[in-house]
Amino acid sequence: MLEIKPTELEKVVIVGVVLPRQDKRVVFEHLEELKLLCKTAGGEVVKTFIQDLKNPNPAYLIGKGKAEEIAQFVQENNISAIIFDEELTPTQIRNLENLAKCKVLDRAAVILDIFASHARTREAKTQVELAQYEYYLPRLTRQWTHLSKQYGGIGTKGPGETQIETDRRIIKRKIATLKHKLEEIDRQRTTQRKQREKFFKVVLTGYTNAGKSTLLNLLTDANVLVEDKLFATLDSTTRLVRTKKGYEFLLSDTVGFIRKLPPNLIASFRSTLIEIVYADLILHIVDASHPNYDEQIQVVEDTLIDIKANKNKSILVFNKIDLIEDKGLIELLSIKYPDAIFISAERGININALIERIEKFIEENYVEKEIIIPQDETHKLAHITKYADTVESEFFEDMIKVKFKAKKDDYQKILRLIENQEHEEDLELNTDQPVK
């Protein structure tokens, strides 16, 4: 990816619209978040424009008069980009750029730009590059192109340099090549997952900047980058955690979510987000100090539905409780979310309670069994060894006594394989025993 960093903060203006039946307070909150996105991308927001609309204008999204007002401000104040909080069509981008004579971007473009800056591994870079090409392909214009190296700043970091007369067929070939690379990465991920099948898998997810990386570092000494910025880390990190009680689990960090996350970005990050789908337990990390924590929770839950991970077992973890001035809020949250855990990853507050909850989930997810099989049916022992976490076998006379511990799902696989030749009731199975 080509990454062009401006030598100084890029002066930008941001634009929001208020549609009928839309809460103006929510629009202001979204614009505040857009300011943070611009700051993370290297921009300085000089002015914010807001317009109440009955219906979006097909030509400019906003009214033509407001568009001309913004264009005049841009030209008089040496502004290099106009950034809209709403998604723009290719036609709207072209019309606005012709009017204002500067770059015009929407929230999705800024998010993609940040991802391009923060991608470090080959996998993350490939994922972002694919998302950018797919996003920009229908948005190429003759006067401005966000795939060209001739313009610096926000919206220009990413997939290589091209000319304004970019041949769309070349871009499509690049997209096909990147998809092929991601298919290879998917196969590698599948192999890695198979190697980890016997481990209990815990995945951190949540809104961006909720403190996932801080918690990962606290529990694993992973030394993952932690910054008070949106999308500070993109690359998935997995570490083994051993608790004082002797439990083991794999803990993985994932990319944070945000409002209006570009769909093609979610699709491109499939190989990373698939870790959430295969998790035994999801820790949904929430910034308890954020004024709109409830909306952020909903954004994450909606995204989990999109990637089909909403049926996984999960724990709601309210982080940053040390930043809450009104301690009564914690009591209200505990009433509203009775199964939640309240922590501060930064201060190490209540971390033991979180670990104990994870240990409880591990215990509930495993069974210990002891069975007796004939020595001439050692293939059954092979089935057990393949899927069980631990196996102890004792040979005596013509029988084998096998004691094993396995995940509940794997235990069912073992039973099905054994029952191909012999029903479960013909086996001598003891009752479930607690895992230790």
Answer for the pair 249, 130: CB distance below 8 angstroms, yes or no: no
**In tens digits, what is the pLDDT along the chain, a chain of 436 residues?**
444 444 578 999 999 999 988 888 889 989 999 999 999 888 999 999 999 999 999 999 999 999 999 999 999 999 999 999 999 998 999 999 999 999 999 999 998 888 888 777 788 788 888 888 888 887 765 444 443 444 456 666 655 444 545 567 788 888 999 989 888 887 887 777 676 777 889 999 999 889 998 999 899 876 655 555 565 555 677 888 988 888 889 998 887 888 888 777 777 777 667 788 888 899 999 999 998 899 999 999 998 998 888 878 899 999 999 999 888 899 999 999 999 999 999 999 999 999 999 999 988 888 888 888 887 777 888 878 887 877 888 888 788 888 888 878 788 888 887 776 444 434 444 444 444 3
CATH of the domain at 285: 3.40.50.300
Domain finish residue from 99, 115, 131: 115
Distance CA 283, CA 297 (A): 12
Task: Check whether residue 403 and residue 374 sit in a common domain.
Answer: yes
Please indicate, yes or no, if residue 434 is contained in any of the structural domains. no
CATH of the domain at 78: 3.40.50.11060
Task: Check whether residue 215 and residue 311 sit in a common domain.
Answer: yes
Task: Check whether residue 104 and residue 209 sit in a common domain.
Answer: no
CA nearest neighbour of 366 among 387, 352, 381, 386: 387
Task: Check whether residue 382 and residue 284 sit in a common domain.
Answer: no
Tell me the residue range of the domain where 394 lies.
366-426
Please indicate, yes or no, if residue 137 is contained in any of the structural domains. no
What pLDDT is attached to residue 300?
93
What pLDDT is attached to residue 436?
38
Task: Check whether residue 200 and residue 330 sit in a common domain.
Answer: yes
Task: Check whether residue 338 and residue 372 sit in a common domain.
Answer: no
Please indicate, yes or no, if residue 29 is contained in any of the structural domains. yes
Domain finish residue from 96, 115, 134: 115
Domain finish residue from 322, 349, 376: 349
Between the alpha carbon of residue 352 and those of residues 202, 245, 310, 348, the distances in Å are 16, 12, 26, 9
Please indicate, yes or no, if residue 5 is contained in any of the structural domains. no
Please indicate, yes or no, if residue 146 is contained in any of the structural domains. no
What pLDDT is attached to residue 285?
96
Task: Check whether residue 314 and residue 403 sit in a common domain.
Answer: no
Please indicate, yes or no, if residue 147 is contained in any of the structural domains. no
Please indicate, yes or no, if residue 169 is contained in any of the structural domains. no
Task: Check whether residue 344 and residue 200 sit in a common domain.
Answer: yes
107-118 and 24-41 helices, crossing angle to 10°: 30
Q: How many domains does the chain have?
A: 3
Please indicate, yes or no, if residue 301 is contained in any of the structural domains. yes
Between the alpha carbon of residue 304 and those of residues 197, 205, 257, 295, 299, the distances in Å are 22, 9, 10, 14, 9
Distance CA 238, CA 222 (A): 9
What pLDDT is attached to residue 65?
95
What pLDDT is attached to residue 427?
42
What pLDDT is attached to residue 396?
80
pTM for the predicted model, two decimal places? 0.76
Task: Check whether residue 262 and residue 322 sit in a common domain.
Answer: yes
Task: Check whether residue 405 and residue 316 sit in a common domain.
Answer: no
What pLDDT is attached to residue 235?
61
Task: Check whether residue 204 and residue 343 sit in a common domain.
Answer: yes
Radius of gyration of the chain (CA): 26
Answer for the pair 393, 381: CB distance below 8 angstroms, yes or no: yes
Task: Check whether residue 327 and residue 223 sit in a common domain.
Answer: yes
